[in-house]
Amino acid sequence: MSIKKISSALISVFDKDGLEPIVKKLHEQGVTFYSTGGTEAFIKDLGIPVVPVEDVTSYPSILGGRVKTLHPKVFGGILNRQDNPSDVQQMQEFDIPQIDLVIVDLYPFEKTVASGASEADIIEKIDIGGISLIRAAAKNFKDTVIVASVNEYAEFLEVITNNNGGTTLAERKSFATKAFHTSSHYDTAIFNYFNEDETFYKESVSNGQVLRYGENPHQKGYFFGDFDKMFTKLHGKELSYNNLLDVDAAVNLIGEFKNDNPTFAILKHNNACGLATRSTVKEAYLDALAGDPTSAFGGVLISNAKIDKAAADEINNLFCEVVIAPGYEDDALAVLQEKKNRIILIQNEVELPAKQVRTCLNGLLVQDKDNITDNKEHLTTVTVTSPTTQEVEDLLFASKICKHTKSNTIVFAKNKQLYASGTGQTSRVDALRQAVEKAQSFNFDLNGAVMASDAFFPFPDCVELAKNAGITAVIQPGGSIKDELSINYCNENNVAMVFTGTRHFKH
């Protein structure tokens, strides 16, 4: 816990916000400053003496500023081991000044890429000197302090204020850890800009959030992402690990209905238990709730349209964990906020990742997101009986839900309302039977309803069970070597069947 005083500092930063109080505090504590370019001018403007780095190296900044600090007299001052007699002797022999503190940041590479800048401008934002200074100072944390990001300024100022210009070994190691994160995150961004080989996968997320716990109370849980960019939280308790999984499922599902009439979905354990498209949000909510009012208890609710008071009054009668919408009328928000723990979110327009990642065995599985939404152009009628216009709309409606429901799954729908689904079954027949039983338990008349399946039918048993339940049209990907068995049964029993050519497994 012994304190090591800072006597000299090299400061060279792109972003100078928050730097002034640090420089003034260090000056009060008698620290000698070394700097370059704009930072040197910044320190001089504060009326504080500063030694230009070129006075130390006897070498000017060259190549348009590409080379400024890359010199043995700079890196020797940072990397020397103060308890190593040979290092001490060489510092004296080559007249190398001791550098106890390095404050440096990196050129804004990610922001430059995001701005749509030219490749030449992007390449110039690949920092060389800064990244080298960060690594050198972090490596030598035993003797040197590294502050590698404006995000650490407040903490560092507090440390040198409390310790009268000194740091402990533990504090230096902590700053070094943060610095290696900064450098590795930066290199990952550069690699991903250049990389075109999809067999390489690198990701760096810096804004981790500690959750109350994971899937169960005995598991630690964390969220790595920018939740505040994607949502504006208006009310309620902190989201849990399971809340976030359900919110993710809800967002992906409602995205299929983004441009449709008011659509409302209710999800439980990542699956839709209710969904309907209607002329008003209130009607959509009530018909979604009717799909399974039992499972809706404690669920996650999401709308593709602004929630008004008429809808909010109905929603308020249900215990639900989360409500998500693109907006809320003021009087609707007042109603929904009556339940203090209810989480209320506005979904912002944010581009979602193009890849899906999950742990598997001792590694990761990475895949493209399933971005195909079945539409009329994808449909091939394979039966003598063609679906009606209404049935086609319901088939596509059911297909969207099916795509976002755990396999094996069967979905029943009618008049753009989810009647029932069988979810996550090991047998497609079991999924179908579950859906039939569920629809009947909530008094839905399946006569004239349609059925969607996330994969093909290798045998006619599913279409036979569906026909007996009242189903008149079926949508499935097709592709079984025994497709004709199901097609023949449909032809013999006046059931329409269409193939999409796309399977939508969700494991």
> Which residue numbers are catalytic?
139, 269
Measured N-to-C along each axis, helices 129-139 and 169-194 cross at an angle, to the nearest 10 degrees, of 150
Q: How many beta carbons lie within 10 A of that of residue 392, not counting itself?
A: 19
Q: How many beta carbons lie within 10 A of that of residue 479, not counting itself?
A: 14
Three-state SS letters, 147-162: ECCHHHHHHHHHHHHH
Q: For 76, phi and psi rounded to 5 degrees?
A: -65, -40
Strands, E assignment, 63-131: 101-104
Cβ neighbours of residue 319 closer than 8 Å, sequence gap 6 or more = 297, 298, 339
Is there a contact between 416 and 398 (Cβ–Cβ < 8 Å)? no
**What angle is formed at CA 272 by the lines to CA 267 and CA 275, rounded to 5 degrees?**
100
Is there a contact between 122 and 29 (Cβ–Cβ < 8 Å)? no
Q: For 282, phi and psi rounded to 5 degrees?
A: -60, -50
The Cα-based distances of 471 to 435, 449, 479, 495 in angstroms read: 12, 5, 21, 8
The pairing of strands 8-12 and 4-5 is: unpaired
Nearest to 46 by CA among 71, 86, 11: 11
**What angle is formed at CA 82 by the lines to CA 78 and CA 87, rounded to 5 degrees?**
80
Alpha helices in 304-424 (DSSP H): 309-315, 330-336, 389-403
CA distance 101 to 72: 17
Kindly state the tokens that stand for 68: 């400024």
Cβ neighbours of residue 493 closer than 8 Å, sequence gap 6 or more = 467
The Cα-based distances of 365 to 148, 162, 362 in angstroms read: 33, 47, 10
Is there a contact between 385 and 392 (Cβ–Cβ < 8 Å)? no
Q: For 373, phi and psi rounded to 5 degrees?
A: -110, 120
Identity at 26, one-letter amino acid code: L
